[in-house]
A = this chain, B = another copy of it.
Amino acid sequence: MGKRKNSEKYHRIIEAATKIFADKGFYQTKISEIAREAGVADGTIYIYFENKDDILISLFEERMKEVLDNMREQVSKEGDPVKKLETFALAHLRLVEQNKSMAEIIQVELRQSSKFMKEYKNEQFLEYLELIAEIIRQGQRKGIFRKDIIPGVAKRAFFGALDEMSRFWVLSSRKQYDISTAARQISGYFLTGIKA
């Protein structure tokens, strides 16, 4: 059954689950609801996924890989570490904007995942963070960023700032600030703060 992941139904289910998980939360979501949304029978879901957890995990991996690749590419287009960070911020927030459901899941459900799937290490996410650390290290090597900045701390601070902004975005209905303004502000003062 190597074709499971290529199947159209596999993707229909993932999409349905993304929508409903984001809407009601993982535990609140019934398999039968996902099935209805995807237009398949309850049982069909178990042809494509091992269990409910597996849907959530698959959904991440499917999407995060994509996001990570995309981000890597965008960042690598820029040579200057300062520009790289600006690009990262903007791209991150744009991604959230364009993909609200997925963002909600990452915001809320993934946070839980470390609990209910102790064994599941979210490699992709760690790599995503590492991307930031790498940019910072590069900037330090070039003498653009202060040497006393600890990349392991800074990457989290930068990501955290963006992430908190996204949370606000995702959870509030009316958008008070537009996304590029927010991105500019965040990368703006962050950069000023770490520049040599």
- Give A contacts to B, CB under 8 Å: 24-25, 27-28, 107-108, 111-112, 114-116, 149-150, 152-154, 156-165, 167-168, 171, 176-177, 181-182, 185-186, 188-194
6 A-B pairs with least C-beta separation: A160-B164, A189-B193, A157-B161, A193-B193, A192-B193, A25-B115
Chain B residues near A161 (CB, 8 Å)?
156-158, 160-161, 164
Chain B residues near A24 (CB, 8 Å)?
115
Q: How far is the CA of A12 from the CA of B185 in the complex (A)?
A: 45
Say whether A150 contacts B185, CB under 8 Å.
yes
Which one of B25, B112, B116, B189 contacts A154 once the chains associate, using CB atoms below 8 Å? B189
Shortest Cβ distance from residue A139 to the other chain B in the assembled complex, whole angstroms: 13
Shortest Cβ distance from residue A104 to the other chain B in the assembled complex, whole angstroms: 9
Which one of B28, B149, B157 contacts A164 once the chains associate, using CB atoms below 8 Å? B157
Interface centre among A112, A165, A168, A182, by most chain B C-beta atoms within 10 angstroms, is: A112
Chain B residues near A150 (CB, 8 Å)?
177, 181, 185
Chain B residues near A116 (CB, 8 Å)?
25, 27-28
Chain B residues near A157 (CB, 8 Å)?
161, 164-165, 185-186, 189-190
Shortest Cβ distance from residue A7 to the other chain B in the assembled complex, whole angstroms: 30
Q: How far is the CA of A161 from the CA of B165 in the complex (A)?
A: 10
A152 and B164 contact, Cβ closer than 8 Å, known pairs A157-B186, A192-B193, A193-B193: no
Chain B residues near A107 (CB, 8 Å)?
111
Which one of B153, B171, B177 contacts A185 once the chains associate, using CB atoms below 8 Å? B153
Say whether A177 contacts B152, CB under 8 Å.
yes
